[in-house]
Amino acid sequence: MARSLERLRQAVEQSQDDYVQKLDQQWLATVPDQYRGHSVKEIVGGTNNSGDEIEAGWGGSLNNDDIDKLADYLEEPTKFLILRGTAGTGKSTIAATIGRKLIHDHQFSAVFVNSVSLITDFSFREDHKNPVKHFAEFDLLVIDDLGAVNEGLTPYQQKALWNLIESRWSARGKYTIITTNMAIQDNNEGLGLSTWIGESGWDRIASDLTRVNMSGVSFRI
């Protein structure tokens, strides 16, 4: 009897391992190479002498409050996580690293998509599949560099983006990470993310949101 139970336990563990490996392969197929291969520990690096800053390995920095927010997100995700900062400070790398950790720790299905490709898909999906329905299905959706072009959306694109946000906000167990270099509110440099997305869509995001600000020198230079 004990031997049979042990074989059953091993079979269950192997089945779970196979499932996680499948999720991992599907995820990595959508993530650009340069954002792969990092651990959360590598990303946050060490502290400086004062202990007030945690220096990131790519040259950017996060303060202790930001690290706490990331840790809380990994333990119990909020519906939306926004990683905001200047170009090259590691937003996409952190998003990709979080995604893989959630796959391995919580068996999330996950997908990574560039925002320009996503917005283009809303109008020109060649396989005629509904991109909103497709991206709404995953437990975790990473939208990278939202608002990168910083141009206004067509009414159709804005409606599609609202539908995607609504579908993820209203469904249980769906989480979304957004990376962006846009300010949240409008300023003298242009539209803010809240205006660009639209009042109704932003209202849903803001209802359950964790925000982390990134700063520092671009690691690409």
Q: How far apart (Å, rounded) are the C-alpha atoms in residues 220 and 87?
A: 9
Share of the chain above pLDDT 70, in %: 77
Looking at residue 167, its pLDDT comes to 93
**Helices 91-106, 2-28: inter-axial angle, 10-degree rounding:** 160
* Ramachandran angles phi, psi of 19, nearest 5°: -65, -45
Q: Which pTM value belongs to this model?
A: 0.84
The model's pLDDT over 152-199, given as tens digits with 9 standing for 90+, comes to 778 888 888 999 999 999 999 999 999 998 989 988 877 888 988 889
Q: Which residue has the higher pLDDT, 131 or 59?
A: 131
Q: Which residue has the higher pLDDT, 190 or 28?
A: 28
Looking at residue 57, its pLDDT comes to 52
Looking at residue 169, its pLDDT comes to 95
Q: How far apart (Å, rounded) are the C-alpha atoms in residues 20 and 107?
A: 6
Query: Which sequence spans correspond to the domains of the chain?
Result: 2-216
Residue pair 92/98 in contact by the 8 Å Cβ criterion: no
Amino acid at 66: D
Half-sphere exposure (CA, 13 Å, Cβ side) for 149? 10
Asked whether the predicted pLDDT for residue 128 surpasses 80, the reply is: no
Lowest mean pLDDT among 66-75, 116-125, 163-172: 116-125
Q: Does domain 2-216 have CATH number 3.40.50.300?
A: yes
Residue whose token pair is 């509110």 = 185
Asked whether the predicted pLDDT for residue 19 surpasses 80, the reply is: yes
Token pair listed for 179: 């990376």
b/e per residue, 32-50, with b = 16+ CB within 10 A? eeebeebeeeebbeeeeee
**Measured torsion, CA atoms of residues 91, 92, 97, 102, in degrees rounded to the nearest 10:** 100
Q: pLDDT band at 114, cuts 50/70/90? A: very high
